[in-house]
Amino acid sequence: MSALHLAILMPFIFAFFVPIFYKSLRKIHTGWIVLFIPVILFIYFIQFIPTLLQGKEIVRSLPWIPSLNVDFTARLDGLGILFALLITGIGSLVVLYSIYYLNKDKEQLNTFYMYLLLFMGAMLGVVLSDNLIVLYTFWELTSFSSFLLIGYWYEREKSRYGALKSMLITVFGGLCLLGGILILYVIAGTFSIQELMTQVNVIVNHDLFVFAMVLLLLGAFTKSAQFPFYIWLPDAMEAPTPVSAYLHSATMVKAGIYLVARMTPIFAFDSSGLWVWLIGGIGIFTLFWGSFNAVKQTDLKAILAFSTVSQLGLILSLFGVGAAAIHYDIDENIYTVAIIAAIFHLINHATFKGSLFMVAGIVDHETGTRDIRKLGGLMNFLPITFTVALIGTLSMAGIPPFNGFLSKEMFFTGMIRVLQLDIFNMETLGVLFPVLAWVGSVFTFIYSMIFVWKTFGGSFQPEKMEKKPHEPPIGMLIPPVVLGSLVVIFGLFPNALLGGLIESVAYSVLPKFKYEVHISHWHGFGPELYMTIGVIVIGFALYQSQGKWKKIYDLFPKKLTLNKLYDSFIPSLETGSNLVIRSHMTGYLRSYLAYIFIFFIGFLGFTMWSMNAFVLNTSKVGEISIYEIVLSLLIVIGCITIVFAKSRLTSIIALGAVGYTVSLLFVVFRAPDLALTQLVIETISVALFLLAFYHLPKKFRHPETRRFKLNNALIAIGVGLVVTLLAISSYSTKLFDSISQYYVDNTYDPAGGENMVNVILVDFRGFDTLFEISVLAIAGLGIYGLIKLRLARRSEK
């Protein structure tokens, strides 16, 4: 086990000790101890950057299930280190923030930090695993720990609802992902991403390729809250704010983006363009839809949730468009800018969205509400928080000089260049990309303004707030301030600080290309600049005139929203399965018997019919004697009497008659042992039947009529017919000679007997006899037990 493996597993190992620290060190907030883990990991990961900038990568392998090709291979390349730094860096800040956010006397801190560490380790595992099965394992662990964290305040109904919803949707996607992974294994015979990349041509041309791709994308889209799976994210806002800031803005929701980026070198070679269209198209629509819906929200965290959905769509659409680069010349490729923009925006989004969530948490903490209708005028009470919020929202809206402006400009560049794509039918619908991008950006501008001005601007309404607001403790301010200053610093010096890292990440997303990251604030008068000016002007105008156009949200019928669909889908699934079960699980034995017999007729009949197995061959049939005819007639008469007799007693006597006739048939067919046994057994069983008849309640002894049911008659006739045909056919096609000659030859000499039946019973095949007498003994004891041990009746007395 290398140090890299240890780094991934460290949060898991430490999670075991969290409850111990919690119980033994009650005076210290558990978060202080947990804080060491992400900080140490962050420092550990940052020392790899110089190595990675030289274009090297670090691969460490650890056998896990070698026989199934599953090895825990940790691979650290540009993409991996970027995510590892995000996870550990923002993880450290979130833990610090949570120390002040969660009260150590009121909350169950041991579970909180255990879940958080589980999540952190799982997320590190997802981004650093090279083996897809290991990746999937960690992937499900993130779903699982996210479920636990959303439901942290489990006594609240909304928390449980949100947790269940996110669990159902992300696990659905996770299972799709597993399907995709398995199909990839079927195609290429390996779980290793590195090895898959060497077999791109085989994979892309395989028939199952599209299935693998769609299943994999379902996994990525559910995790990254893309349309139409985004609905779990707004409900996951019931989690404590540090969790929302960490999981639902910076890390977990980016796992899907990570997966898309990681799989781009394999899937982007697809010549049908499905990859570009699916990711680009769904991403850009999610961008528009998320920002459109964010505007009507009144809850601070709900605005941020829809904003996250929209920004994730932005990043994904850039990855989709960037994948088109593969189909053009290596040199002077104009589409690689989309990849660079995606990576840059990924970093930016983590910084500003993390800080904004923390701001929302502070506001909630200090005023007791997150409803923007109750908030207002907090500027003077929370100056530092206001500054951070302003920086974060301006960056989110794409205003210079913050980093969001830079990545949004690059985003527009990428989207405009879609128009020049001459493949995948982009010339027809491709125009939607820049249009949706621009409209989405306008709405982004509006909700950013709403977020900051409705909270901090306007008039102060102290009567609506539970507490008198004032600045939170310093520890709660440090993390958002750090993130806020990163927004400014990255915005001012993007090339010096991030250039090398972005190049190395871009190289691991799309290898073979040359990247020269040159991010500049001023790149002349281009369409991008006009678009940004348009966003600001129109956005500002729309923000001012909100009251007039907000009615368009009422136009959309509430019944058709995706949440309503989900909410009605789950109960209808329950009632549906209830109906299905009730429709056939009647509780009547006769129904189940009917199913069994119908299946028997259908299955056997169909098999014989499809195999052409009905044969009639009379050459082996023996001669029929007069005794056999008479006895058979007797049996038939007996059977008819049994079925049609009005009294049960008649049926019992007729049954006995049939039994004795069978015994006579044994005599005719020369089976004396069978005849003797049949005679005695028939006597006993008829006696037992009579006994049962005697104890019947009076009204059941002589039922007036027996009702005729056509269904039953048809089933009975069918079974009889199938069995008869089966018997005739199997007799007609006897393939081998009987082995009975062996018994004839060996009964006397080695076995020492003359009665062959008995010799077979006790010598040749005594094993069967042994268990038959065991069956008898068990039956006897069972009857004894049934009669003697009547606990129910005894307790009544």
Summarize as ranges the residues that interact with other proteins (CB under 8 A). 672-673, 676-677, 680-681, 684, 688, 691, 751-755, 757-759, 761-763, 766-767, 769-770, 773-774, 776-777, 779-781, 783-784, 787-788
Phi, psi of 152 (to 5 degrees): -60, -45
> In this complex, which beta carbon is closest to other proteins, that of residue 488 or of residue 751?
751
Q: What's the maximum distance between 2 C-alpha atoms anywhere in the chain? A: 116
CB of 672 to other proteins, least distance (A): 4
Rounded Cα gap, residues 504 and 56, in angstroms: 9
Joined tokens for residue 530: 């006009």
CB of 763 to other proteins, least distance (A): 5
Q: At 332, which amino acid appears?
A: E
> In this complex, which beta carbon is closest to other proteins, that of residue 429 or of residue 688?
688
- How many residues does the structure list for the chain? 797
Joined tokens for residue 727: 């018997």
Number of neighbours of residue 186 by Cβ within 10 angstroms: 12
Among 69, 351, 365, CA closest to 189: 69
> In this complex, which beta carbon is closest to other proteins, that of residue 372 or of residue 759?
759
Is the torsion defined by CA of 787, 790, 796, 797 positive or negative? positive
CB of 757 to other proteins, least distance (A): 8
> In this complex, which beta carbon is closest to other proteins, that of residue 694 or of residue 736?
694
Residues 6+ apart with CB under 8 A from 642: 651, 654, 655, 658
CB of 206 to other proteins, least distance (A): 55
CB of 205 to other proteins, least distance (A): 59
Joined tokens for residue 93: 């800040």
Rounded Cα gap, residues 82 and 48, in angstroms: 11
Rounded Cα gap, residues 520 and 510, in angstroms: 23
CB of 211 to other proteins, least distance (A): 54
> In this complex, which beta carbon is closest to other proteins, that of residue 616 or of residue 684?
684
Given a contact cutoff of 8 angstroms between Cβ atoms, the answer to whether 410 and 491 are in contact is no
What is the number of helices (H) and of strands (E) in the chain? 37, 2
> In this complex, which beta carbon is closest to other proteins, that of residue 429 or of residue 778?
778
Q: At 214, which amino acid appears?
A: V
Among 616, 622, 653, 618, CA closest to 637: 653
CB of 666 to other proteins, least distance (A): 11
CB of 748 to other proteins, least distance (A): 9
Among 353, 346, 316, 318, CA closest to 502: 346
CB of 684 to other proteins, least distance (A): 7
N- to C-terminal Cα distance for the chain?
A: 69
Number of neighbours of residue 707 by Cβ within 10 angstroms: 6
CB of 612 to other proteins, least distance (A): 43
Rounded Cα gap, residues 196 and 202, in angstroms: 9
> In this complex, which beta carbon is closest to other proteins, that of residue 427 or of residue 772?
772
Q: Reduced to 3 states, what is the DSSP secondary structure of residue 239?
A: coil
> In this complex, which beta carbon is closest to other proteins, that of residue 195 or of residue 763?
763
> In this complex, which beta carbon is closest to other proteins, that of residue 33 or of residue 762?
762
> In this complex, which beta carbon is closest to other proteins, that of residue 17 or of residue 771?
771
